[in-house]
Amino acid sequence: MDKITLSRMQFFGNHGVFPEENKLGQRFYVDVELVLPLDKPGRSDALEDTVNYGEVFFRVKDIVEGKTFKLIEALAENIASELLHHYTSINEVTVRVIKPHPPFAVLFDGVTVEINRKQA
């Protein structure tokens, strides 16, 4: 199946279990893979025959920057649900949320949650 992938979208959000995370916020990275047929837009060269990835970016931005979640698992689930609900041409979506600086004293580059959901 064909895919549209939006990689390393950067947003500032207030997600986390600790109150200071909700107050101060931090940067998050989000990857979204959309599985959908791209043969029709490939032939027609028409935006209305595909998913507008600029619009997808702003939908994800609204969720990451406009809501607060304790868990990045819940953030990923909300993004996947919104995209599948709004774009019925998407058969499947994979969402990766990366929290590059978790608030505890260990040395690693971050935490990533990846979920995969299919159209009902």
| Domains contained in the chain, number | 1
What percent of the chain stands above pLDDT 90? 82
Per DSSP, what are the bridge partners of residue 108? none
Question: How many whole angstroms separate alpha carbon 58 and alpha carbon 12?
Answer: 13
* Averaged pLDDT of the chain: 94
Chain-centre distance for alpha carbon 56: 9
**Is the distance from CB of 116 to CB of 93 less than 8 angstroms?**
yes
Q: What is the pLDDT of residues 53-103, one digit of tens each?
A: 999 999 999 999 999 999 999 999 999 999 999 999 999 999 999 998 877
Dihedral angle computed from the Cα positions of residues 23, 94, 5 and 16, in that order, rounded to the nearest 10 degrees: 10
Query: Known catalytic residues?
Result: 99
In this structure, what CATH number is given to the domain that contains residue 58?
3.30.1130.10
Tokens found for residue 61: 């931005």
Q: What is the pLDDT of residues 13-50, one digit of tens each?
A: 999 998 888 888 999 999 999 999 999 999 999 999 99
pLDDT (0 to 100) of residue 106: 66
This prediction's pTM: 0.94
Could you tell me the residue range of the domain that residue 13 belongs to? 3-118
